[in-house]
């Protein structure tokens, strides 16, 4: 993904979490559509794990690439060894 690419919560799969392979991603978490928390995640970091583990029906964050980045989507079932 290129710098400034945005991943909106409605476009991301809620049964996946995302590993930042390269780059840096800014995560905006929401509560009732108000920004609750801002976190920068860099190489090796994980985005969306709590939501995937809780089997949420929709995600509560948006993610913006702060620089060119590579993210890998990992299905929740991979944690159970069911891939």
What are the pLDDT tens digits along the chain (83 aa)? 777 777 766 666 667 888 999 999 998 887 777 777 789 999 999 988 877 777 766 667 788 899 999 999 898 888 877 65
Q: Residues 10, 66: contact at Cβ < 8 Å?
A: no
Would the pTM count as exceeding 0.85?
Answer: no
**25: closest CA among 10, 6, 11, 12?**
6
Residues 6 or more apart whose CB falls under 8 angstroms from that of 34 comprise: none
The pLDDT of residue 20: 95
């Amino acid at each position: 993904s290129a710098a400034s690419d945005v991943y909106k919560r409605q476009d991301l799969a809620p049964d996946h979490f995302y590993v930042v392979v390269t780059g840096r991603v800014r995560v905006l978490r929401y509560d009732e559509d108000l920004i609750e928390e801002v976190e920068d995640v860099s190489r090796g970091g994980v985005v969306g794990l709590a939501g995937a583990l809780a089997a949420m029906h929709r995600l509560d964050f948006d993610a913006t690439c702060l620089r060119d980045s590579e993210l890998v989507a990992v299905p929740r079932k991979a944690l159970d060894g069911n891939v």
